[in-house]
Amino acid sequence: MTTSASVPAGSEDAITRVGTVTDRLVEANERYATAFTDPGMDARPVLRVAVVACMDARLDLHAALGLELGDCHTIRNAGGVVTDDVIRSLTISQRKLGTRSIVLIHHTGCGLESLTEEFRTELELEVGQRPAWAVESFRDVDQDVRQSMQRVRTSPFLLHTDDVRGFVFDVRTGLLREIDPA
């Protein structure tokens, strides 16, 4: 099992065997920085699009969507669900940084499909405090994409809600399947 405090066996290539995973990431960054040159980009995405997606490690959004550095804003969370914090980020993205389009991406085999709001109760019993946030678990990924599209389209804070599209990414094939908002 890999944790943030251990280094997985067999991953010694170009990264030291000693230290935590965070140590490995810092070392990788030092190597990256030696060849780094400032691309001279603005914080405004070139394609004027914001992508909201699940944090699942199997989703390589830039590769899957043919994106380059600077093309989009990427907002990731568990499930890719549109929460108040996602609305916050999208509002800043649109109102201050010029995005006009929003792409929502959920995926097959999401961990949120196996959780329930009972998770919050379990946490409360363990730590003595109930989380203020909702788990936002779901059973039907298509319906959850529709709900996320509706949350975006009805937000009073977002200026541009005419180009909002939702998809399910298939983790086995790499293909996106568009979800009809109706």
> For residue range 39-66, what is the model confidence (pLDDT) as tens digits?
899 999 999 999 999 999 999 999 999 9
Q: How far apart are CA 65 and CA 10, in angstroms?
A: 30
**pTM confidence score:** 0.86
pLDDT of res. 33: 96
The three-point CA angle 100-101-105 to 5° equals: 150
What does 64-116 look like in DSSP terms, one character per residue?
HHT--TTSEEEEEEGGG---HHHHHHHHHHHHHH---EEEEEEETT-GGGG--
The three-point CA angle 125-81-110 to 5° equals: 75
pLDDT-derived band of residue 3, with 50, 70 and 90 as boundaries? very low
Average pLDDT, the chain: 92
Q: Which residue has the higher pLDDT, 27 or 7?
A: 27
Q: Which residue has the higher pLDDT, 127 or 2?
A: 127
Q: Indicate the pairing of strand 101-107 with strand 164-169.
A: parallel
pLDDT of res. 17: 59
In the predicted model, is pLDDT for residue 13 greater than 60?
no
Dihedral angle over CA of 19, 8, 75, 166, nearest 10: 180
In the predicted model, is pLDDT for residue 159 greater than 80?
yes
pLDDT of res. 182: 78
- For the chain, where are the alpha helices, taking DSSP H only? 21-35, 61-65, 84-97, 118-127, 141-153
Nearest CA-CA partner of 152 in 139, 140, 166, 138 = 166
pLDDT of res. 8: 53
pLDDT of res. 1: 40
Compute the average pLDDT of residues 107-124.
Answer: 94
pLDDT of res. 162: 95
Which residue type sits at 104? L
Compute the average pLDDT of residues 109-123.
Answer: 94
